[in-house]
């Protein structure tokens, strides 16, 4: 049913919880592909060099750590795990990957790193669920 699973993570506890559910789904579904995506905020051009390169390296490093933690949390799944790091608005990045990679389901948390208390659904989840080309599993 779900051959290509796409998991979106931002390093939050919510995303880790979604990661565990995505891994369970993968163990049941035996998909051909399990893809994990993390997006980092665009780097403002006005920073100039060499600051820009330093910020890019830092952001990529953080994104890699988030991915490594997610891969560890996924554990053993009966398919290949792919990871992607994208620069830009998280919802646009997730939607782009889902379209390009032809994902069958997107798994994500209901909230993320945002601090607005009382919010039921974060803006990334809201945008993804509104424009996704496939079913979305929002984990809470």
| Contact footprint for ligand ATP (CB under 6 A) | 8-10, 12, 14-15, 18, 37-39, 90, 94, 108-109, 111-114, 116, 122-125
- Give the span between the Cα atoms of 65 and 73, in whole angstroms: 12
**With CB under 5 A, what is the number of residues at the site for Mg ion?**
3
C-beta closer to Mg ion: residue 88 or 114: 114
Q: Binders of Mg ion among 45-64, rule CB under 5 A?
A: none
In angstroms, the CA 67 to CA 41 distance is: 16
112 binds Mg ion (CB under 5 A): yes
User: Whole-number minimum distance, CB 8 to ligand ATP, in Å?
Assistant: 3
In the complex, what is the shortest distance from the CB of residue 122 to Mg ion, in angstroms, rounded to a whole number? 5
Q: Report the C-alpha gap between 100 and 106 in whole angstroms.
A: 13
């Amino acid at each position: 049913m779900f051959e290509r699973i796409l998991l979106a993570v931002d390093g939050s506890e919510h995303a880790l919880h979604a990661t565990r559910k995505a891994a369970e789904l993968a163990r049941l579904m035996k998909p051909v592909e399990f893809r994990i995506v993390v997006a980092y905020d665009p780097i403002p051009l006005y920073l100039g060099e060499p600051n820009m390169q330093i910020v890019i390296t830092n952001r990529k490093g953080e994104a890699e750590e988030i991915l490594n933690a997610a891969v560890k949390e996924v554990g053993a799944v009966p398919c290949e795990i792919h990871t992607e790091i994208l620069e830009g608005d998280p919802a646009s990045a997730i939607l782009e990957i889902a379209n390009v990679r032809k994902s069958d389901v997107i798994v994500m948390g209901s909230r993320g790193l945002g601090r607005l208390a009382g919010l039921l659904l974060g803006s990334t989840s809201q945008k993804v669920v509104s424009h996704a080309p496939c079913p979305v599993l929002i984990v809470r």
